[in-house]
Structure 1
C-alpha cells in the first residue's frame, strides 16, 4: 500500500532462504530416478589402425605374470598404452577402412576407450611368443561386397628359440587357414589380398608378451531400431 514502510529485515530473510531452497531442489533432483534415454541400434566401427608390440620384464604377478608388466610394455611399444582397451571378435563392416596410428595419435585423449581386435601371447624365459592379426575382404557369389573378417593368431613355442622367418611363416599359414574358414562357412569368396600384422619375441627376461591389434577409432551411429520395451 502507498505510504507503507518496507521492513528492511524481509529482503535479508528471503536472501538467506534462497540458497537453502536451491540446495534442497538439487538434492531432490539427484535423488529422483534417472530417466536415461535409450537408443536401440549398435554402432558400426569404421576407421581402424593396425599395430604390434612386444615387452618383457623380470616382474610379474601370478597367475599370469606376463599379463601385467610385460603386457604394459607391449602396449607401450604398440603405441596404445594410454587407452582403456576393449576386445572385439572378428568382423569388419563394409564401411571399415585403415588409417595409420601416426595420423590418429595427435587426437588421442588420455584414458579414452579403444575397441580392438587383438591377439596376444605371453610366455616365460626361453620361450618364443608370437601374435598376429590377419584380415580379408569378402564378396558374395554374385560379386556384391559384403565387408571383411579378421583372424587372431597366438602361439607360444615353449622352451624354443625360433627365428622370425619361421615364426612368421607359421603365423601366415594359420591365419590364412582361419580367414578362408570364415569365408567358406558363410559361402563367401575373397575380395583382394589378405593382409597380416605379425610380431614375435624370444624372451630373455623372466616374462614376455607379444601383441597385435586393430584399433577402431571411427564409428557410424545408425538410425534407431524400431524397438519398444515390452
Structure 2
C-alpha cells in the first residue's frame, strides 16, 4: 500500500501589516469591547471577516511583506487567518495605542537573511512612545539570539494605531497577517530517522490480563 506523504511544520510566507481603531457605545457583559469596538477595529484594518488565530512573533527568513491591497483579492469570508496582533482596549477619555514592529536579522559577513521578529506594543502611551518601545524590544529579541558583532538589524516602519476614546469603549489594533504558507514534505531518510528515534520505553507496559 502506498504511504501517505508526511509534512514538516508549515512555514508562513506572504504577509501584510495593518492597523485599525474602533470607538462605540455598543457593548455589554464582562468584555464590552469584543463585539463592538474590537470588531470595528478589525473592520478598519480590513480583516473583520476572518477567523483570527494568534501567533507568536517569529518571522521565517523566506517570508515577505506585501501591501494589503495586493492581498485583498485573495481574501475568503470565514477563512482562518493567523496573525501576530497587538490589541488594547480603553474607556472614554483614555488613549489606546497598539503597535506592531518588525526587524530582519542579516549575517554581517555573508549578507544572508537569518530570519526576522515582530514585537507588539499594547498600552496607553502616545505613538512616539510605542515606536521607541518597539525598537528597544525588537533589538532585545534579536540580540538574545544572535551576537551583536555578527549581525545587522534592519527595522521596518512600525504600524501604530493611537487614538483617544470618544465613546464608552475604544480598541486599537495593529497586526501582521499571514496570507500564504508552504508545507515542506518529509523525505524518506528524514522519516526513517524520526522513526528510529522513537522512545519505545516511554510508555509503561500494558497490565497483564487476568
User: What TM-score does the superposition give when structure 2 sets the normalisation length?
Assistant: 0.82
Tell me, yes or no, if structure 1 residue 80 matches structure 2 residue 47: yes
Q: Find the counterpart in structure 2 of residue 4 from structure 1.
A: none
Alignment of 1:178-193 (within 5 A): 178-188=137-147, 189-193=151-155
Q: Find the counterpart in structure 2 of residue 170 from structure 1.
A: 129
Q: Find the counterpart in structure 2 of residue 149 from structure 1.
A: 117
| Partner Cα distance (1:156, 1:136) in 2 | 23
Residue 59 of structure 1: CA displacement? 1.7
Tell me, yes or no, if structure 1 residue 43 matches structure 2 residue 10: yes
- The one-character-per-residue Cα deviations of 1:154-209 (angstroms, maximum 9, x if unpaired) are 0035xxxxxxxxx1110111001100001111124333333310111210100010
Question: In the alignment, which of 126, 130, 134 is matched to residue 97 of structure 2?
Answer: 130
Tell me, yes or no, if the aligned pair for 2:6 and 2:185 is still in contact at 8 Å: no
Tell me, yes or no, if the aligned pair for 1:53 and 1:210 is still in contact at 8 Å: yes
| Number of aligned residues | 185
- The one-character-per-residue Cα deviations of 1:1-41 (angstroms, maximum 9, x if unpaired) are xxxxxxxxxxxxxxxxxxxxxxxxxxxxxxxxxxxx68341
| Partner Cα distance (2:87, 2:142) in 1 | 23
- Alignment RMSD, CA only? 1.8
Tell me, yes or no, if the aligned pair for 1:127 and 1:202 is still in contact at 8 Å: yes
Tell me, yes or no, if the aligned pair for 1:140 and 1:187 is still in contact at 8 Å: no
Larger radius of gyration: 1
Which structure: greater helix fraction?
1
Question: SS state of the match for residue 191, structure 1?
Answer: strand
Unaligned runs of 5+ in 2: 201-210
| Partner Cα distance (1:209, 1:75) in 2 | 9
| Partner Cα distance (1:65, 1:156) in 2 | 18
Unaligned runs of 5+ in 1: 1-36, 158-166
| Partner Cα distance (1:73, 1:194) in 2 | 26
| Partner Cα distance (2:100, 2:32) in 1 | 23
| Partner Cα distance (1:135, 1:190) in 2 | 14
